[in-house]
Amino acid sequence: MADRKLTASPDNVVVVGLGRFGGQVAASLVNLGHEVLGIDADPHIVQDWSDRLTQVVEADATDTEALRQLGVQEFARAVVGIGTNLEASVLTVLTLAEIGVPEIWAKAISTKHGKILSSVGARHVIYPEAEMGERVAHLITGQMLDYIEFDDGFAIAKVRAPKEAIGRTLADIGLRSKWGVTVVGTKLPGEDFTYARPETVVPPGCILIVAGDTTKVEQFAAVT
């Protein structure tokens, strides 16, 4: 798979650092139909990924000339998965920005690290450990089956339907007026997701996908 040279196109992505995070991102991009140029300084990691990505090369991503020779400046999107080596992480983002990659996503291991990445050119900073830790905490302490929180205080959660909702329509339950959350959809185990309508009746065993202000979603989940 990695025998041919990858050329830039709107759907192709550069992933620098093929460790646990970067490797997972690269593999997921391939599964979604994108072609990926993987770059790592470790020859063993490069060898491990050589048959799983479109093109994998051993290179120093802080070296401007090395990236130019690979044609990285022609890509619209790059992901920097380097986390533990802060200097390499920052310098890689800076180098990508300097050669003109417009959309740079970068992993950060702390708030200060993230601020530095943003200041040198990262358009999107990702905090995978912190985000996963918060998500797991919500799942452990509440009744949520799944939970995603966005930066602007907005959250989506998958919760079990409260007992008082069973057999009633969503319009009758009035979760938006009572709790300030919107039911996006409903799902029964083993069945497909169904978009919610005011006339949707909540059957026993139903799961609700709700969205709204983070605090209100948490409050609603606590009573289900």
Rounded distance between C-alpha atoms, residue 30 and residue 111, angstroms: 30
| Locus of tokens 């997972």 | 24
Query: 40, 45, 131: which is closest to 81 by C-alpha?
Result: 40
Token pair of 59, please? 């290179």
Q: What is the residue-wise DSSP string for 89-118?
A: HHHHHHHHHHTT-SEEEEE-SSHHHHHHHH
Helix ranges, the chain (H): 20-31, 43-49, 64-69, 86-98, 111-120, 128-141, 170-173, 175-179, 214-223
Q: At 87, phi and psi to the nearest 5?
A: -60, -45
Question: What pLDDT score was predicted for residue 11?
Answer: 76
pLDDT digits (tens, 9 = 90+) for 200-211: 999 998 999 999
Cβ-Cβ contacts under 8 Å for 84 (sequence gap 6 or more)? 109
Question: What pLDDT score was predicted for residue 45?
Answer: 95
pLDDT digits (tens, 9 = 90+) for 141-192: 556 778 787 767 788 888 888 888 899 999 998 888 888 899 999 999 888 8
Question: What pLDDT score was predicted for residue 32?
Answer: 84
Rounded distance between C-alpha atoms, residue 84 and residue 87, angstroms: 9
Q: Which residue numbers in the chain have pLDDT < 70? A: 1-10, 130-143, 151, 224
Between strands 55-58 and 36-40, the pairing is parallel
**Residue 182's beta-bridge partner residues?**
211
First to last CA, the chain: 48
